[in-house]
Structure 1
Amino acid sequence: MLKQLMVGCALSLLKLLAVLPYGFVARFGDLLGRLLYKLPSKRRCIVYTNLKLCFPHWSETRCQAVAAHHFRHVIRSYVERSVQWFGSAKKFEKLVEIKSEIDLSDPNLPPTILLGFHFVGIEAGSISLNYALKRSCGALYQPMSNLKIDQAAKQARARFNAQMISRPESARTILRMLRVRTPVMLASDMDHGARNSAFVPFFGVPACTLTTVSRLAKTAQAQVVPFIGEVLPNYKGYRLKVFRPWENYPSDDPLADARRMNAFLEEQIELMPEQYYWVHKRFKTRPPGEPGFYDAC
């Protein structure tokens, strides 16, 4: 009962923040992130562990600085759900700068998988991409444990005519959409366990990586178009970056395709390491016999 009350209060707070100026909301989220980072926590430990694994050449000073900056971004991204979920379409549109290498308004797009990555701006990027398409679009999501938050998130993400697809029942639905040329947004850069995955290097560390993008694209004869949501400096909003379709993808080797996906992601992370979603246990699943990395957390 108490948990449900807290969830209700949190959603009410987001709705309230949605009507306030974006600059105030962003600064509030940043300040909250600064304060929470000072408290010892499991998530702070996970962020630091991931950074040390991926950037062993970094100094301790840089690692700590990026970890702190990232924590501020993460908490801020939760606070900014207010604008993304409950703000008016006009207000949201003004906050997003779109930089696309394909014509998103083209009604004759071939079967297209829009491949997102878990930077802190993925929520804003995904919603603005669906808005820019001006047409129905499939969007894969992971159901949340709290039903009230899950319902609120689905409604918010679908408000610009997205068709939400639950991950557990996704493959057939995605293929059906692609066959009628409905674009589908999905992400495959998190550790979802060994099923439909392979251990592929990510910054030199074997990472359990989904191979489903390659297989779906091959079955549906779909092009794969990467996109990234970036948080702009000085509280100026977001930039949606949509890249050209990957050439010669998929290949006949799902492992090579997964490595190519990770290599692309590594290049983008190098440009803004503080914005990647390091609070996730990216290396949770280990090859047989290898010890875990997060036991100390």
Structure 2
Amino acid sequence: MSKEFDTRLLHPRNWLTWFGLGVLWLIVQLPYPVLHALGSTVGKMSRRFLKRRERIAARNIELCFPQMDAASREAMLEQNFMSLGMGLIETGMAWFWSDARVKKWFDVEGYDNLTKALQQHRGVMVVGVHFMSLELGGRVMGLCRPMMATYRRHNDPLMEWVQTKGRLRSNKAMIDRRNLRGLVQALKAGEAVWFAPDQDYGPKGSVFAPFFSVNEAATTNGTWVLSRLSGAAMLSITMVRKANKKGYVLHISDVMSDYPVNDEIDAASYMNKIIEKEILRAPEQYLWVHRRFKTRPRGEASLYHAASPH
């Protein structure tokens, strides 16, 4: 991972990607209300081409909100794909907008919670959630207070360079999410480190805990391990899109003073409750197209039969 440009990225095999990035750069020069309308429209149209993702999102919403009627679930699904289109636009905003332009479009709630936690000089574990606006949320977060973030390296070297350069415009460093030693060292040095424990990362390093109405959801125990090894404070930061094209709000929670550090199952259940609360700020903006419940207890059938490829 480096911001240094490698001339090999100019190879003809990357020209199509360069073209796409150029188009995205041009698009995000438009006024924000136009970008909002464009992203929402593109996302809505994408449903007809992303049928497998549509089935996954519909199944996740059905599993998490079984009491919701069919019409309400369909409305959330429609809004979710509109948000998916906005996520692409917001990625361009995060990578290519100036600091001044980004600052015009967001408000912050709870900033004192972060500053007070950092004043304790024991590091801060910043819990994030995979909203569609996540990339822009990282840029906004760094403008409030530059920090470090965990990430998964992109398979494409050009996209790895672009996303790293974009993310480091307002943040300090990116740390591979598998680099436990690096994460613990950063926290012990008093840094704020962002990570998102809300996805299904497979059976290794996970436990089963309730998540919404699914009693057994594979939940990473990385949060619990980091907490025990680093002794860092912990709080959540999420950014949601305002209604009526009015921009964004970055929510910074109080420090989680009652996090259960003695039991990994209790810790996973606690964290999932925190994540549920954050998702419910704007559930239609959450990344429901991810197979959140793909890992099942041994012997249990998949919850995604209709969504799984054959």
| Range class of TM-score, shorter chain | over 0.9
Per-residue CA deviation, residues 238-288 of structure 1 (Å, 9 max, x unaligned), is 110000010122420121011011112222333422111101000011111
Gaps of 5+ in 1: none
1:173 pairs with one of 182, 187, 191: 182
What's the offset of the Cα at 1:40?
A: 5.5
- C-alpha contact (below 8 Å) 1:123/1:229 kept by paired residues: no
- Number of the residue aligned with 2:159: 149
| SS of residue in 2 equivalent to 1:102 | helix
Counterpart Cα distance in 2 of 1:289 and 1:115: 32
Whether the aligned pair in 2 keeps the contact of 1:97 and 1:240 (CA below 8 Å) is yes
The equivalent of 2:297 in structure 1 is 287
Aligned to 1:118: 130
The answer as to 2:33 corresponding to 1:26 is no
- The 5-angstrom pairing of residues 2-81 of structure 1 reads 4-39=14-49, 41-81=51-91
Kept in 1, the 8 Å contact 2:203–2:218? The answer is yes
Q: Is the 8 A contact 2:186 2:193 kept in 1?
A: yes
Superposed displacement of residue 95, structure 1: 1.1
Identity, % of aligned pairs? 28
1:208 to 207, 218, 227: 218
Other-structure match for 2:198: 189
Distance between the aligned counterparts of 1:279 and 1:40, measured in 2?
10
Preserved contact between residue 120 and residue 229 of structure 1 (Cα < 8 Å): no
Question: C-alpha displacement at 1:39, in angstroms?
Answer: 4.1
TM-score, normalization: structure 1? 0.93
SS at match of 2:280: helix
Aligned residues, how many? Answer: 294
Cα distance change of structure 1 residues 60 and 265 upon mapping to structure 2, 3 Å threshold? same
SS in 2 for 1:207: strand
Distance in 2 separating the partners of 1:269 and 1:21: 28
CA 1:124 to 1:109, structure 2 compared with 1: closer, same or farther past 3 Å?
A: farther
Aligned to 1:254: 264
Mapped to 2, the partners of 1:119 and 1:152 lie a distance apart of 21
**Aligned-partner residue type, residue 273 of structure 1:** P
Give the structure 2 partner of residue 235 of structure 1. 245
Say whether the 8 Å CA contact 1:201–1:259 is kept in structure 2.
yes
How many angstroms apart in 1 are the aligned matches of 2:254 and 2:282?
20
Cα distance in 1 between the residues matched to 2:278 and 2:173: 28
SS in 2 for 1:181: coil
How far is 1:194 from its partner? 1.0
Pairwise CA RMSD: 1.8
Deviation at 1:295, TM superposition (A): 2.7
* In structure 2, distance between residues paired with 1:123 and 1:161: 12
Distance, in Å, in 1 between the alignment partners of 2:73 and 2:171 is 41
Tell me which residue corresponds to 2:5: none
Q: 1:161 to 1:270 in 2, by over 3 A?
A: closer
**Aligned partner of 1:275: which letter?**
Q
Asked if 1 retains the 8 angstrom alpha-carbon contact of 2:113 and 2:253, the reply is no
What is the CA distance between 1:32 and its match in structure 2? 0.5
Cα distance change on mapping 1:232 and 1:129 into 2, 3 Å: same
- Residue 94 of structure 2 is matched in structure 1 by 84
1:108 aligns with 2:87: no
How far apart are residue 144 of structure 1 and its match?
Answer: 2.1
Q: Is the 8 A contact 2:125 2:195 kept in 1?
A: yes
Amino acid aligned to 2:130: H
Q: 1:109 to 1:123 in 2, by over 3 A?
A: farther
- Checking the alignment, whether the CA contact within 8 Å between 2:109 and 2:249 is kept in structure 1 is yes
Distance 1:6 1:47 in 2: 29
Are 2:227 and 2:261, in contact at CA under 8 Å, matched by a contact in 1? Answer: no
- Are the counterparts in 2 of residues 227 and 241 from structure 1 also a CA contact under 8 Å? yes
